[in-house]
Every structure is written in C-alpha cells, then in structure tokens.
Structure 1
Amino acid sequence: METSSEINEIATALASAQMEIENASKNSANPHFRSKYADLAEVLNTVRPVFAKHGIAIIQSPEYGDGVAHVQTTLAHKSGQWMRCDTSAPVTKQDAQGIGSAITYCRRYGLAAMAGVAQEDDDANSAVAGPGRARQQPRKPSEKDLQVARDTLEGCSTVEELRETFKGLPEHVREAMKGEATEMSKKLEGEAA
C-alpha cells in the first residue's frame, strides 16, 4: 500500500465511513464452484454513497500485460490525502472477455479490501444456524443512524426522490424506517395533489 505523506484526514474519514458501511451481500452465483459472491456493482453500491458522504473518492486504474490484469485502487480524500493499493490476477482466457473478467475481479477485491468490506452471504448467514453457531440477529440501527436517515428523507421534495433516497439507505435502517417513509410518501403525495 502507498499513501500520501500525511493520512490523518483520510484515515479519520475512512474510519467514520467504515462505521457506517455494511458488508456487501452476495448477489451473484458462480456455478463452477457452487458459491455466491458480491459482484462489483454490489460492492460499489455498498461503499460509494458512504465514501462520498465522508469526502472520499474511488479511482480505479486498470492495466493489462504479460497475461496478468492489474488494478490500482486509490482512495482520494477532499483534503488531497490519498492511499492506494494494487491488485493483480492472472488472465486465464486471453481475449477481451477474459481480460475484462480479470479486471473486474481485481476492481472488486481491491475496493472491498480498501473499504474493509466482507463480501458475505447475508441471506445464508442469517437463515442457517449450524451446530454450535447462534443464529445471527438482525442489526438494529442506532438512534443517530435513524435521525440521519430521517433528516435525509425529510429533505426530499418528491415521492420519486424519497423512494430513490430510501433505496440507498442501509438495509437495517430501511427496515426500521418503513413506517415513517410510508407516512412521508403520503404527505408528499398530498402536497402534489
């Protein structure tokens, strides 16, 4: 990993962001290994809004050479501070599809590592309790999380904006805010009529 000469501001912003980021759900299947994984879009959708809120941009620069795909993932803070890491993967199929797949793989793993995000299978983990393992309880949002969500939703001026904003909230916050969001939607519909 490489960093700017100072990282105090990006480290603080990253720590704050990581407190809010949830692990990416495995939304794609790999039939060859009978496994599930979080695809790149899921990792980006999990990380990007929270990073943006804390002034962190994601820059990913792909390269290909000698049968290996490389991606440099840089987290750049609004202060000008940055940190970056390189991820590499062999390209098994030497065509555009194979190169693209290896680059996507590197982007996904590089970003997940930099963000501290596990690409866990939420559905299976919460639905199945193996021997000696307690069933995972749903995460309960803090009052601060609920207030931030409430303030954000109350700032919406249309029902469509409210719906899109609501969809961007973490799942555990959406679950807790369903009733309030429905009431806000009804209020906006009444104002539009």
Structure 2
Amino acid sequence: MNAQSKVEPSLASAYIAAFADIEGVTKDALGQVGQQKYKYADLGSVIGAIKPVLIRHGLAFTQPCEPSPSGVTVRTVLHHGSGETMDLGSLFVPANKQDAQGFGSALTYARRYALVSAFGVPTEDDDGKAASASVNRQHTAAATIDQAQFEELESLMARSGTTAETICKGYGIAAVAMLPASKFPKLKERLEATAIELERTAA
C-alpha cells in the first residue's frame, strides 16, 4: 500500500504565495480610505489589508524595535506555522522631536513603511516623494549642535552657573549634546545674558 505523503509548505513558498495575493487585495482594500487614496493609507489600513492574507498562508509578522538615541529602528520578522522565521530587514526613522510624541510618530511611520516594503503594498511615486520629504524634514529637525557649539555652551554654562540638568529639563533632551541646532542661538544668547549679569553683580 502506497501512502501519499503530505508536503508542508515552507516559509519561503508561503511568503511567495502570500506576496502574490496581497497585491490583488491591497488594490481593493487600499483603493479608497475615507476621502483619501490608498497611497496615504495609515498603518491600520495597511495591516488590515495584509493580515488576512498572511493568516491564510500560515504566516504572521512581528516588528520589534531596536535601541536608537535619535529615532526609531523597526525590524520586521516573518513567522511561519512550521516555526521558521525570516528577517525582512530594518528601517530607521529619525524622531522630529525628542519626546514621547516624536518617537511615537516615528514608530508609526517606520512600521508602516517597513510593511509596505516587505509585502509589496502598492504605492505611487507621489507617496514616495512625500515620504522622502518627511524623512528629510525629520532629519533636519533632529540635527543637533556640533562639537564647537557644545564646547561654547559648556563655557557659558560655567560662567552663568547653569547646570546641564536645567538645560536638559527645559528642552526635553537626555544630554546637552542632543540640543537641536535650531535652539542653539537663543540658548547661547540667554546664557550670555545671565553670565554678564552674574559677573556684573560679582564685581
């Protein structure tokens, strides 16, 4: 008696099959989200379009975050029912503000575009341009003071009796070296004024 063996699909073959199905699903699911076209679909819409397809093929994904002082790095990992896993790569997005809101926005952005890339969610060129512009703006916003500016602040802090803790608390940063470059001129002016006043009083 010959028994026909059942061959279980591997992660790679399941991923390929799901990838093909997702393309068809997303054209409909993300074709219109409210008054917006699919190229502007949010994270929830992207997940809503790909999740049912992945489940049908015995797949799931996780997106662990990796430590990064100036933004968020998201790694996307594909899991198969057999226990196999596949690393689909990492994406770094800088935080436009060094606070919970800034990092939260960067995390959402990173997760969305990592999924779009990993599973072939259709996007248009305009969306790519918008994404690039957004990342460029975030890079600019996240630019910190250089070494010379840092040393100048250190000198002014000593002259004015201002502590690093005070500056960090006032600007919501972890260290003076992380001060946004755009904030440097105003802080320098304020520290100079304080230093001059202290020196005048001491004299």
Which residue does the alignment assign to 2:48?
A: 45
Quick check: which one's helix share is greater? 2
CA deviation vs aligned residue, 1:142-168 (integer Å, no higher than 9, x gap) = xxxxxxxxxxxxxxxxxxxxxxxxxxx
- TM-score after normalising by structure 1: 0.51
The alpha-carbon distance between structure 1 residues 60 and 118, as it changes in their structure 2 partners (threshold 3 A), is same
User: Identity of aligned pairs, percent?
Assistant: 40
Q: Which has the larger radius of gyration?
A: 2
Q: Structure 1, unaligned stretches of length 5 or more?
A: 1-7, 122-193
Mapped partners of 1:65, 1:25: distance in 2: 34
The alpha-carbon distance between structure 1 residues 54 and 68, as it changes in their structure 2 partners (threshold 3 A), is same
Which residue does the alignment assign to 2:14?
A: 13
Q: Does 1:109 align with 2:118?
A: no
- TM-score after normalising by structure 2: 0.48
SS in 2 for 1:88: strand
Instruction: Verify the 8 A CA contact 1:57 1:77 in the aligned structure 2.
Output: yes
Aligned match for 1:68, one of 48, 71, 74? 71
SS in 1 for 2:64: strand
Q: Structure 2, unaligned stretches of length 5 or more?
A: 1-8, 126-203
**Cα RMSD, aligned residues only:** 2.6
SS in 2 for 1:58: strand
Q: Which amino acid aligns with 1:27?
A: V
- The answer to which structure, 1 or 2, has the higher relative contact order (CA under 8 A, 6+ apart) is 1
The alpha-carbon distance between structure 1 residues 90 and 116, as it changes in their structure 2 partners (threshold 3 A), is same
Mapped partners of 1:83, 1:25: distance in 2: 29
Q: Does 1:78 align with 2:87?
A: no
Cα offset, 1:48, TM superposition: 0.5
